[in-house]
C-alpha cells in the first residue's frame, strides 16, 4: 500500500522489490487512496498483471509532482499530530 500514486515511480520500485523476492506479478495487489492517470498508466503499463485498487483518481500533478488537489497535509497530521498546520487535525470516525 502507498497512500498516493502521483508519477508511479515509488510504486514501480515497490513492485520490483516484490518481484525480486519471488512474488509472482499476478499475486500482487497494489492499494492506494489517491492516484493520477499518469501514475496508474505508468504502473499498469510496466506491470500489467498487478491488480490496482484506488479510491479516487485526481487529474494531475503540479510542478513538484504533488497530486492536485490531492490529500494536502493528511500524512503530516497522521504521523505528527502535534505539528502546527494550516489545516485542522483529521477527524476520527468510529
Residue 91 maps to a domain: no
pTM higher than 0.75 for the full model?
A: no
Q: Which residue has the higher pLDDT, 74 or 21?
A: 21
Residue 94 maps to a domain: no
* CATH number of the domain encompassing residue 41: 3.40.50.2020
Residue 84 has pLDDT above 80, yes or no: no
* pLDDT at position 28: 96
* pLDDT at position 34: 86
* pLDDT at position 18: 96
Among 31-40, 59-68, 85-94, the range scoring the smallest mean pLDDT is 85-94
Backbone φ, ψ for residue 52 (5° rounding): -120, 130
As to burial, measured by CB atoms within 10 angstroms (0-12 exposed, 13-18 middle, 19+ buried), residue 58 is middle
pLDDT tens figures, 39-68: 899 999 999 999 999 988 888 777 877 777
Dihedral of alpha carbons 80, 66, 55, 45, sign: negative
Question: How many structural domains comprise the chain?
Answer: 1
Residue 84 maps to a domain: no
Amino acid at each position: 500500500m502507498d497512500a498516493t500514486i502521483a508519477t508511479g515511480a515509488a510504486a514501480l520500485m515497490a513492485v520490483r522489490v516484490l518481484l525480486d523476492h519471488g512474488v509472482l506479478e499476478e499475486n500482487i495487489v497494489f492499494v492506494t487512496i489517491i492516484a493520477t492517470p499518469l501514475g496508474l498508466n505508468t504502473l499498469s503499463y510496466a506491470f500489467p498483471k498487478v491488480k490496482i485498487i484506488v479510491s479516487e483518481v485526481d487529474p494531475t500533478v503540479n510542478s513538484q509532482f504533488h497530486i492536485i488537489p490531492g490529500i494536502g497535509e493528511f500524512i503530516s497530521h497522521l504521523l505528527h499530530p502535534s505539528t502546527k498546520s494550516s489545516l485542522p487535525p483529521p477527524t476520527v470516525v468510529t
